[in-house]
Structure 1
Amino acid sequence: MEPRGTELVNLYKRNYNIPADVEVTEAMILQHWNLEKKLTKELWESTPENRWEVFEQAYTLLYSEIEWLNKLPGDTRSPSERYQTWVATIGSKPKKIYEIGSGKGEMISYLSQCEFECKGTEVTRERGEKHIKESSSYLSWGNTDGVNLEQFEPANYYDVVLSNQVIEHFHPDDLQTHFQSAYSILNENGRYIFSTPHCHTGPHDVSFVFKYDDSKGMHLKEYTYHELIEPLTLAGFKSVSCAVPFAINKLLVKLGIKKPEQLTKIGIFYFNFMLIVERILFLIPSKKVRRPLARFLRKLYIFADNIFLIAQK
């Protein structure tokens, strides 16, 4: 039974980090839900030949009709708080950074303010550059399909490629091509740093609001750590590690552990530890039981349900 009324509104606000005092109605949520289900069907039925066109049209329609998704306040923390793990993982300047699926451009704009040479991209012009209030000489913009990156950018050029909550939106058939393309535009020591929600605590799209165990919306696939190893390896990346959570990173620095090679080793250890915990969680057949346990382990830093990986070229 799908929730309605106050329960539905509270679940929606929780899922999208909307403050309690911001007005959201049941009618708004149902409009979002019905449109997203329709668009999701179109995304699944797209072919490699028409996929960019279908995805661009779908996301343009979503963000133009459900315009509050662009306007509602989300995370109220300062950019320095929100992106501290990203900055710590990226490392020192100078670096050329390319972001896939920049959303409202908050992270790539902040990184440009940190004086990294940045390029933000989006599949639709309803997102990205139009939301940036202040221009920066360190930031440029482009529209791409997010998958065939080598068609838009030079090979062996960027130090870092980023995506934050993006690959779950791709058609699963495009994931391998996406990783290979990210690899191709990175320079010889480049890294693809990305985050994506873990399926054990999902769904993380609007499906959660309606109490489904699996995504029925525009998160076409939410992944596990194990599912990402093979396509990253096949793409050519020589190692995969986890980004060390900022709280742990601060502790390591206090202990004198701050050299990049030291943090990489810890990140590889953390990644392998996540693989072990993930296998244990898979022993629980019911997702209704697995989900709260995974969330509890997240609070203890024993499990990271926001998959945050560094793929090294």
Structure 2
Amino acid sequence: MSDAYSYNVEQIKEHYELEKSLAKRLRNSTKQERQYLYTELYDELFTKIYFLPQLSVKADPAAAAWIVAQRMQLIESFLIPDLIFLEIGPGDCTLSLEITKHVKKVYALDVSNEITKNLAMPDNFELIISDGCSIPLPDNSVNLAYSHQLMEHLHPDDAVEQLQAVCRTLVPGGTYICITPNRLSGPHDVSQYFDEVATGFHLKEYLLSELYQLFCTAGFSKVSLYKSYKTTHLQIPLSSLTMWLFVAIESFLQILPFPLRRKIASLPMLFRGMTVVGVK
């Protein structure tokens, strides 16, 4: 979620109170309840809070095009014409629809029926409404999977299961690009204006060390951290040998007072956001 909200203080408070209430239901839910709760609660949010930034972007073609262009700077280096692409948590699907121009097939997997209404779908595009955890695609059927601001929305109990499902769906050597905020520079949901720990639909914001362990547990054979600035992308292989440095930095930042920790961690090349790339 963007730090720059375009609506007023009263609207932010209204959004915060509703999202915190809905997120509490999701946090306290059972595995069985979450099979329908992800869809139900996100649809309620998108229906009641009509001024959400996601919906504003959807109504603004220029803003949507700018976001797609920014994300394509990283993704386009992974694209080939015969590729099967999966986006998890595609929002209004503008990125997935752009990628249909470059690949053989695109699957877009989301939990909400509301934000994806009235889509014009090309022949090589398929929208799948999921329970928020499972990925109803065959084993070894996807070359490249991608998510942007998705991991933090999952119930922590569902995180490994979904990562395992992504890994299962990928072909051998397939790649998953996962972009998610780091907890040290958060909160990054609407609760950033009220709380020191995310209490909205960011059910858990991760440290890099936590995300690395999740990827390893899920079965990815190689994990890397990508740091990007404009068209420059730095790939840092992650392993037990390199993670000690990141663990040390994260441990140091966690003992700092909240305002200082957040300020330092928010520096562009540090921990504001994490792009973690796993290879099956």
Instruction: Provide the TM-score with structure 1 as the length reference.
Output: 0.79
Post-superposition CA distance 1:134-163 (Å, at most 9, x none): 4322311110123121xx111110001111
Q: Residues of 2 paired with 1:126 and 1:275: CA distance?
A: 43
| 1:181 lines up with 2:181 in the alignment | no
Between Structure 1 and Structure 2, the one with more strand by share is: 2
Counterparts of residues 1-313 of structure 1 (less than 5 Å)? 15-16=3-4, 18=6, 24-69=7-52, 70-73=54-57, 76=63, 78-79=66-67, 81-128=69-116, 130=117, 132=119, 134-149=120-135, 152-210=136-194, 212-245=195-228, 247=230, 249=232, 266-268=235-237, 276-277=245-246, 279-284=248-253, 285=255, 286-296=257-267, 298=268, 301=269, 303-313=270-280
Matched residue SS, 1:178: helix
Kept after mapping to 2: 8 A contact 1:85/1:245:
no
Kept after mapping to 1: 8 A contact 2:39/2:132:
no
**Amino acid across the alignment from 2:272:** D
Q: Residues of 1 paired with 2:118 and 2:227: CA distance?
A: 30
Task: Sort the Cα spacing of 1:185 and 1:115 in 2 relative to 1 into closer, same or farther, 3 A.
Answer: closer
Q: Give the superposed CA RMSD.
A: 2.6
Shift of 1:41: 1.1
What are the ranges of 5 or more consecutive residues in structure 1 without an aligned counterpart? 1-11, 19-23, 251-262
Kept after mapping to 2: 8 A contact 1:85/1:243:
no
Kept after mapping to 2: 8 A contact 1:113/1:136:
no
Q: Residues of 2 paired with 1:190 and 1:176: CA distance?
A: 18
What are the ranges of 5 or more consecutive residues in structure 2 without an aligned counterpart? none
Aligned residues: 273
Kept after mapping to 2: 8 A contact 1:101/1:123:
yes
Instruction: Provide the TM-score with structure 2 as the length reference.
Output: 0.87
Between Structure 1 and Structure 2, the one with more helix by share is: 1
Post-superposition CA distance 1:182-207 (Å, at most 9, x none): 11111112111110111111000001
Q: Residues of 1 paired with 2:81 and 2:238: CA distance?
A: 26
Indicate the structure (1 or 2) with the bigger Cα radius of gyration. 1
Kept after mapping to 1: 8 A contact 2:179/2:275:
yes
Residue identity (%): 25
**Amino acid across the alignment from 2:274:** I
Q: Residues of 2 paired with 1:66 and 1:271: CA distance?
A: 44
